[in-house]
Amino acid sequence: MRRYLPPGALDASQTHSHLSRCSVCSPQAAILRPLLKQLLKKRMSKGPYKILLTPSDFVFPQVTDSLRVDEGIEAMLCCWLQQLREFGGPEVAERPDLLKGSFGSLQHLARPATLAGSTGSLAQARSYLQADTRARYNGDLVQLKELPVQGTFELKSKAMDVLMTLHGLRHENVNPLLGCLVDSSRPALVFEWCSRGSLEDVLVQDEIKLDWSFRLSLLTDLVRGMRYLHTTPVRVHGYLTSRNCIIDARWVLKVTDYGLPAFYEAQNIPPPCKSARDLLWTAPELLRNPALRKQGSQQGDVYSFGIVMQEVVVRGEPFCMLALSPEEILEKVKRPPPLIRPSVSKGAAPPEAINIMRQCWAEQPDMRPDFGAVHDLFKKLNHGRKVNFVDTMFQMLEKYSNNLEELIRERTEQLDMEKKKTEQLLNRMLPSSVADKLKLGMPVDPEDFREVTIYFSDIVGFTTISAYSTPFQVVDLLNDLYTCFDATINAYNVYKVETIGDAYMVVGGLPVRIPDHADQVATMALDLLHQSGRFRIRHLPGTPLRLRIGLHTGQPHSLAQRAASFHIKTVVQSLMQVGSL
């Protein structure tokens, strides 16, 4: 694979090679060496692709009010932490939840004995809180990876060669190195800034819902990035954890902090000390050999990937399912048997994915697959498709859109059915002309009818029949009778006002004015009388059913007519009010 180098870096690399040859060619090398080194440094410090950066190349963020802490609150927290330590309370390092959301700097405030009321400690805490690992370079946000340097920082020639190699790495899933901030007070490697934070940050946020397809997309990005790194001159990451797997705004995972072992060795910088929790991603053979741990190995990176995969599958910290401290876990990992590994349930991920994870954290390094083999296994897991987070999101949106169309169709059918039921109920309660106006949202004004015919009827001896019947039998009797009556009056141009108990009320001549309303109602009354003679009571088949019928036609002077007219107007006005709501 051809290594990509920017234009300026290629000339610098050639100059550095010439410098190395001259160091052993002649005695004049002692004179040429500082000149060539200065020339190399000059080439790496100029041009659009320069690697050596100075503080003037950056715009550092100003201290915002949100990062400032009131001195009174600082003093109160410091005193509280000091008292907590004096009374034998837990260390802040053991209880990070006590200061969750802070920068963790108050942990360092509890260490000096003269902490309470110490002006110097408060100033130190304030400066720590104000420190930010972000800056702007060429208008874009960048991440500063500070180097653990004691004293004055001066970049060595071997370290420059490592920087040129790292600067030339380009891959979609590798966070590019932009350069090195050469500052005696704050030297740092400069990487691109990814707005989503680290993979660990994403996994701990419960409000971010990650189904298996999204998790598989993140793991696939990690495999691609590590596969590329292992084929470059860097060859080893060495410090792979979920903290240096960062996610950009497009939800693409990128590997960062690569090449640090080689850079530390070239610059003669001792690697930073790591806590027991920071070593949970480290392979067993590296834990047993501190010298090998400084350099790292490709098999160790595969082991670290297996632990990261466990974090993604269960959305938890490494070995979170074991009730052991990090120190106890490391001791058991270094000295098996028994062999200790994270315990992942079968339902947490597909069996193929769990099998890949277990292969990656095998005890013997040669039993672990390389990232080329892992990449092929993930291809099978993805069914041969090139999957990333954005593609997965669009697939889910397309699937949701199709399901939404089907859901809308079903809901529309249900709405039509309910609408028909409502219309049927409305037509039973009100005249069709009134119901149509209400459905259209039109006002319904009460009307005065000068001539109508009113029909009243009830069952003769209904009280006696009810005495020999249960409540359910009475309901069945009235339901059967009025179902028969409703079917009969449909053949006439009349309107049924209501039924109350055994009373049945019908009006002719409204709401549609007709000249023969008396004939229609009288003929209907005879028909109902005939139907009642043929009607049989289910629970009293031997008891005949007789109707008492009363008719009145003409102007509404009688009390019954006035009551009927008043009732009709009241129903119409009430329904108008309901319709307006």
Whether 285 maps to a domain, the answer reads yes
Q: Which of 323, 343, 341 shows the shortest CA–CA distance to 332?
A: 341
Q: Which of 505, 501, 503, 504 shows the shortest CA–CA distance to 474?
A: 501
Query: 220 is written with which tokens?
Result: 């696939």
One domain, residues 285 and 382: yes
Domain boundary among 365, 387, 409: 387
Greatest extent of the chain over all pairs of C-alpha atoms, in Å: 138
Contact (CB, 8 A) for 50 and 40: no
Evaluate if residue 572 carries a pLDDT over 50: no
Residues contacting 1, CB < 8 A, separation 6+: 231, 232
Evaluate if residue 402 carries a pLDDT over 80: no
Q: What is the pLDDT of residue 381?
A: 85
Domain count, the chain: 3
Evaluate if residue 99 carries a pLDDT over 50: no
Whether 484 maps to a domain, the answer reads yes
Tens digits of per-residue pLDDT, 482-518? 889 888 988 898 888 888 888 899 998 888 888 888 8
Whether 66 maps to a domain, the answer reads no
One domain, residues 346 and 482: no
One domain, residues 343 and 488: no
Tens digits of per-residue pLDDT, 320-329? 999 899 999 9
Q: What's the average model confidence in pLDDT over 391-406?
A: 73
Whether 10 maps to a domain, the answer reads no
Evaluate if residue 557 carries a pLDDT over 60: no
Evaluate if residue 577 carries a pLDDT over 60: no
Q: What is the pLDDT of residue 327?
A: 94
Q: What is the pLDDT of residue 101?
A: 36
Q: Residue 33: pLDDT band by 50, 70, 90 thresholds?
A: low
Contact (CB, 8 A) for 98 and 105: no
Q: Token match 């110097």: residue? A: 120
One domain, residues 258 and 351: yes
Q: What is the pLDDT of residue 97?
A: 40
Whether 503 maps to a domain, the answer reads yes
Range among 78-87, 243-252, 305-314, 450-459 with highest mean pLDDT value: 305-314
Whether 331 maps to a domain, the answer reads yes
Query: 360 is written with which tokens?
Result: 């990656």
One domain, residues 202 and 333: yes
| Separation of alpha carbons 363 and 301, rounded Å | 13
**pTM recorded for the entire structure:** 0.57
| Separation of alpha carbons 60 and 57, rounded Å | 10
Q: What is the mean pLDDT of the chain?
A: 78
Query: 132 is written with which tokens?
Result: 């930010």
Radius of gyration of the chain measured on its C-alpha atoms = 43
One domain, residues 206 and 327: yes
Q: Residue 65: pLDDT band by 50, 70, 90 thresholds?
A: very low
Q: What is the pLDDT of residue 26?
A: 53
One domain, residues 120 and 246: no
Evaluate if residue 9 carries a pLDDT over 50: no
Tens digits of per-residue pLDDT, 191-221? 999 999 999 999 999 888 888 888 998 999 9
Whether 123 maps to a domain, the answer reads yes
Q: What is the pLDDT of residue 83?
A: 53
Tell me which of 114-123, 206-215, 291-300, 465-474 is least confident. 114-123
Q: What is the pLDDT of residue 237?
A: 95
Domain boundary among 341, 357, 387: 387
Q: Token match 């089907």: residue? A: 406
Tell me which of 94-98, 220-224, 242-246, 384-388 is least confident. 94-98
Range of the domain at 82: 71-130
Total Cβ atoms within 10 A of residue 448: 7
Domain boundary among 130, 146, 175: 130
Q: What's the average model confidence in pLDDT over 113-134?
A: 45
Residues in the chain: 581
- Kindly report the CATH number assigned to the domain that includes residue 210: 1.10.510.10
Tens digits of per-residue pLDDT, 331-390? 999 998 889 999 998 888 999 999 999 999 999 999 999 999 999 999 888 776 666 666
Q: Which residues pair with 455 in a beta bridge?
A: 506, 551
One domain, residues 203 and 333: yes
Q: Residue 544: pLDDT band by 50, 70, 90 thresholds?
A: confident
- Kindly report the CATH number assigned to the domain that includes residue 575: 3.30.70.1230
Contact (CB, 8 A) for 303 and 238: no
| DSSP assignments along 16-47, one per residue | HHHHHHHHHH-TTHHHHHHHHHHHHHHHHTSS
DSSP state of 348: G
Q: What's the average model confidence in pLDDT over 129-157?
A: 82
Helices and strands (DSSP H and E) totals, the chain: 21, 13
The type of residue at 142 is: V
Whether 14 maps to a domain, the answer reads no
Query: 487 is written with which tokens?
Result: 């079917």
One domain, residues 252 and 368: yes
One domain, residues 371 and 461: no
One domain, residues 478 and 357: no
One domain, residues 379 and 462: no
The type of residue at 394 is: F
